[in-house]
């Protein structure tokens, strides 16, 4: 599976800037009221800089940090203020590029991105050959999906102009997680080879379709060319090639139906039905009156 990169952050002394800002904008008594949260915020963000934290502990630390941000968020207006404390993160896909963010709302977006990436990376450390490892990986991917979903609900246009927090990039990462969840379900070691939670009767098709949607967001939208140097394009291309239906050579009906459905998925949105009908007419077989019949040469 693909390893989604984390956003790196600069160490910051948050306590004094946050407290001074609230004392200046509101009052000293208000600053005293939230003093404990400011201290906790500073401690948690410092903890995230440690390299010796395990992935689960890092995730728990980030969740606590996110909760503290939510608690004090109402004290900070959405508009950028020169007097407000600012939070600095690196662009996840290009660490050399700073992604400077100037208020607490933007910090929340970066934390959600990191939570999604951390949970996704936790799934990579699981033993997929064991039932327990497979279940743990599935839980971690579902957690990652949840955090990316929350991130997509933020106003990411205001959150950052960098690639990793853009709306399209968040959607693409969400699609990748969805595809990997479908991939794990498809390859569950103790399930029936043709059982699918989505009700599909064509093994491999839903997985390929999910990866295709992520690939389209990467190659046909504003992200095109932005993530060329990352491992994401190569990963998606390889998954679209390897996630294919596994049928016997004699199972002509299933091969045809699978190919028919996959051809539809490859067409861009807004395709014309007549184009799809043409696919069956030029192939060796077609569906006629509900039956599979050979095309006349």
The pLDDT of 15-28, averaged and rounded, is: 90
Residue 160 pLDDT greater than 90, yes or no: no
Residue 253: band (very low, low, confident or very high) from pLDDT cuts 50, 70, 90: low
What's the pLDDT tens digit per position in 198-248? 434 445 556 778 888 888 888 877 787 777 677 888 888 888 777 654 444
Domains and CATH numbers, the chain: 1-165 (1.25.40.280)
Mean predicted lDDT score pLDDT of the chain: 77
CB atoms within 10 A of CB 117: 23
CB atoms within 10 A of CB 41: 24
The pLDDT of 38-47, averaged and rounded, is: 90
Question: 117 near 92, Cβ under 8 Å?
Answer: yes
In terms of average pLDDT, the best of 46-55, 144-153, 164-173 is 144-153
Residue 191: band (very low, low, confident or very high) from pLDDT cuts 50, 70, 90: very low
What's the pLDDT tens digit per position in 92-120? 888 787 776 667 888 888 999 999 999 99
Q: What is the rounded CA–CA span in Å between residue 251 and residue 137? A: 33
């Amino acid at each position: 599976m693909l390893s989604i990169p984390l956003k790196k952050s600069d160490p910051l002394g948050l306590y004094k800037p946050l407290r001074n800002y609230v004392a200046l904008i509101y009052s000293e008594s208000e600053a005293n009221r939230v003093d404990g949260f400011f201290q906790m915020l500073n401690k948690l963000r410092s903890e995230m800089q440690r390299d010796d934290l395990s992935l689960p502990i890092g995730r728990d630390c980030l969740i606590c940090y996110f909760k503290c941000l939510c608690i004090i968020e109402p004290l900070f207006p959405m508009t950028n203020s020169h007097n407000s404390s600012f939070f600095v993160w690196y662009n996840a896909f290009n660490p050399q590029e700073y992604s400077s963010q100037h208020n607490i709302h933007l910090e929340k977006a970066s934390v959600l991105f990191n939570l999604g990436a951390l949970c996704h990376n936790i799934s990579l450390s699981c033993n997929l050959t064991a039932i327990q490892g497979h279940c743990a990986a599935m839980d971690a991917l579902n957690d990652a999906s949840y955090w990316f979903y929350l991130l997509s609900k933020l106003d990411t246009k205001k959150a950052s102009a960098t690639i990793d927090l853009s709306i399209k990039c968040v959607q693409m990462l969400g699609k990748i997680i969805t595809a990997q969840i479908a991939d794990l379900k498809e390859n569950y070691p103790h399930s029936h080879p043709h059982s699918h939670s989505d009700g599909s009767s064509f093994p491999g098709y839903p997985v390929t379709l999910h990866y295709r949607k992520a690939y389209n967001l990467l190659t046909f939208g504003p992200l095109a060319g932005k993530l060329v140097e990352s491992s994401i394009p190569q990963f998606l291309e390889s998954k679209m090639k390897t996630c294919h239906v596994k049928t016997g050579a004699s199972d002509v009906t299933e091969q045809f139906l699978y190919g028919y459905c996959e051809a539809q998925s490859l067409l861009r949105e807004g395709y014309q039905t007549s184009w799809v009908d043409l696919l069956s007419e030029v192939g060796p077989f077609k569906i006629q009156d509900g039956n599979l019949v050979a095309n006349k040469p």
